[in-house]
Chains A and B, each alone.
Chain A
Amino acid sequence: MHYPIWNMPLLGGALVIAGISIFHVIIAHFAIGAGIFNVFTEIRARRRGDSALLQFVKDNSIFLIYLAFVAGAVSGVGIWFTIGVVAPEATTYLIRLFFWIWAIEWVFFLLELASGYIYYYTWDRLSPRMHVAVGGIYAITAFMSLVMINGILTFMLTPGEYLSSGNIWDAWLNPSFWPSLWIRTVSALALAGVFVAIVASGRKGTKDDPDRARIVAWGARFLLPLGLMPLLAVWYFSTIPETARSLALGGAVAMTFIFAFGVIMSFLIAVYAYFGMLRKARNINLETALLMAAIAFIATGSMEFVREGIRKPYVLMNIMYSNGIQVAEAAKLNQEGVLANAAWVTPDTTKYSGDVAVGEAVYRTQCLRCHEVEGYNAMTPLVRNWNRPLIMSALDHLDRIKVFMPPFIGTQREKQALGSYLLTLAMPDSAWNSTPADTLLQSVPDTIEIGTDVNGGTEP
């Protein structure tokens, strides 16, 4: 409404955000877990005089720099860039509200990078005590940056008391803050453990090295907290709104499967880590380590996907719908119309005529953020073979037919026009695209065809 609407043909903007976010989350969580792992492991290695373990931490610290300081840092910027393009209204809202929280996070980030570099470059040059202290600074600051960001992420689903108080601390320390922080901490430690297996098994000349299994077994301890994931998930779900909970627990089948997959996979990795890697100290090869990493990544990605998905129909719970329209604006827009208030959207009369042109413009304001015309989660297959009464019925009860859909917002005239446009997608082979809208509306059959899925829609 306040900004031009950007679209990514076939993929859709939401998928672009999801891709970059999941990529970043995995690396960022690894950066946090690896910091904690490195410090504890260095202390252990020095106390026991374990030179092989010490050398491993050294190798792991350069791996951390190559992965987290490059791909992690740049993809973090990438999230800023992407959300600013795909969801500028939500980004504006969050930036204004959490500006100082982000600024505090930046201080931790700066210290994290500086101490991370110094930790790596001063191996064998600083005294052991001082070197561990530098590693400790890295671990603490990396974890604190997670703490700061966690409050912003959880706010999006559970704004809690903020909605009535408007207080920043209520917004940040919201109801799902603590369970989410625990889940992320466990994930971070687990990802560190997974990468230990990769780095240990990927090093040259260590195939028959007896130290390798020992190092992997030590790393496996960091995977064990994953066994707590089902309990943490229960805690987390007890803090989120009922509508969101119901989506994950059967309300949206895809969400339920993805959520169950994430929790079960996490638990199974913990079981494997305990029995396979720790108790029996199996010598894991690189392929197995990579397979385990892939499962862990998909599990992490699944949980992030569910977290994003169950927020629907909001991008900011009870504040802003996923199409960028604020809840507080809805009444005004219903009265005045969305197009009258959308500076960047005008009917494209070069491609469409009459109501269809108006409807296509309404489509861009209300639907395009999530539904491209064709491609992933597209509109065309969703309405294929629908007729006008069915389309209008769906638009009338959009948020009731599917709880993850926002209500239609705009005037009746705009709703009718959107219906006309959707009809051109529903029956693209007809000559309706070029037919004047008034004629078109009169010619539309008003019967609902048997077999049409009235609940037709898509998962969030």
Chain B
Amino acid sequence: MNSPFPPVPASPLLLNYLLGLVFVVHLIFMNFVVAAPLVILWNLITGGAQKRFISEWLAAVLPAAFTFTITFGVSSLLFVQVLYPERFFTANILLGRIWLAVIGLLMLAFYCTYLMRSFLRRHERGTIPTGLFTLVATALVWSVAAIMVGNYFASATRADWPVLITNPFRVLDNLTFSPRFLHYIFGAFAVLGFWMIWISWWRSKRGARSEEVTAFRRQGLMLTLGATGAEVIVGVLFLIWLPSNVWDKLFSGTFPGLVWISGVATSLVILGLLIVANVYPDRIIWQRTTTILMLWTTVGMVAGRDIVRILAFGNDFSIDRLPTALQTGPMLVFFLLLLLGLCLLLALVWLVWKLPPQQD
């Protein structure tokens, strides 16, 4: 039914690019949140007192990473809602209480990370309560990840809606659910490895002991290598299990084909470079190169995700057909404030950067 909803207040193409941009930032923080609790737990169980610092260093970053995951998730949500309301809201409603459960799961997981960090700081606390909260946080965050994957499927596959309205759990029937979820999880560990490389670099600048810095970096490098390898395998499985109509279209056009081929090629190059970086863990050049390539791959993955979404929508929906009426004034105010805000943010980061190391 045609209805008088207000038009989209800017070019949908511009909004889609902005969505991609904020989503990449969201992913970088989110991957840390998804993978870090399990690595903390692993080090607590296997590392003993010698590797406790690894858990502590990761736990110190976790709450802020959680906050910025949510902040950039909110901005992504804003773009999705303005561009794809019919798909997104319908998917939310079909998942219903499962979707709304995300609120409680996130809140509990967030508080678990604070408790975990607090226990790790107080050395008198034993490993069991810390480990317990870490385990719970992992379970909660991974549940949210699974629901997000389910929501993506529900919004992309209109043909499944009649089934989902009777039973939202049927979203699990989708053959690509498991590989996509695993891809999500392995990707998180791969990105966490990069975080660990750069946290070690930051810690070394702040006067941390060199053997701790090296151990932390080595673990990050190993984690990235292993997870990237697993991600490539799962990624191939995911592509194989895509619906035939999407698969056919995915590689038919020149541009989508190039995006996918360059994505896979970059992943393989990263794998090779990571092996080199693992052989020479003290040579920062390899870490820099692989990090830049990883960021490029993440951008490519977000673009790929967008292409899959467009193809899955088919002729039913296209953002090009959305009614548009530019709100010039508010848009200019936004970009002006964004510019000023980013300058202020950089100034704040600079302020912290220049501080002497904390003594505690």
Contact = CB atoms under 8 A, between A and B. Distances in A.
Nearest to B81: A95
Contact of B352 (A75, A92, A118): A118
Contact of B103 (A78, A93, A117): A78
A107 B341 contact: yes
Chain B: number of interface residues, binned into ranges: 35 or more
A73 B67 contact: yes
B348 interface: yes
A106 B348 CA distance: 18
B64 A100 contact: no
A236 to B, nearest CB: 25
A87 to B, nearest CB: 10
Contacts of B106: 74, 77
Contacts of B341: 107-108, 110-111
B119 to A, nearest CB: 15
Contact of B71 (A6, A84, A92, A109): A109
A137 interface: yes
A101 B330 contact: yes
Nearest to A340: B1
A103 B99 contact: no
B77 A80 contact: yes
A82 interface: yes
A341 B23 CA distance: 35
Contacts of A106: 71, 74-75, 78
A106 B19 CA distance: 14
Interface stretch (B229-237, B296-304, B332-340): B332-340
A454 interface: no
A343 B106 CA distance: 33
Nearest to B349: A114
B94 interface: yes
Tell me whether chain A's interface is mostly helix, strand or loop, or mixed. Answer: helix
Contacts of A71: 107
Nearest to B333: A104
Contact of B344 (A16, A109, A137): A137
Interface of A: 1-6, 8, 16, 20, 66, 69-71, 73-78, 80-82, 84-85, 88, 91-93, 95-97, 99-104, 106-111, 113-115, 117-118, 121-122, 125-126, 130, 134, 137, 168-169, 326, 328-329, 341, 343-344
Given A2-B1, A97-B6, A110-B345, 17 more contacts: A4-B93, A70-B110, A73-B70, A77-B73, A77-B103, A80-B81, A96-B6, A96-B85, A97-B9, A100-B9, A111-B345, A114-B348, A114-B349, A121-B352, A122-B351, A125-B358, A168-B330
26 contacts: A3-B93, A4-B90, A4-B93, A16-B100, A66-B114, A70-B110, A74-B107, A80-B81, A81-B103, A82-B100, A84-B89, A85-B100, A88-B89, A92-B85, A95-B82, A95-B85, A96-B8, A102-B78, A106-B75, A106-B78, A109-B74, A122-B351, A126-B351, A168-B329, A329-B1, A344-B165
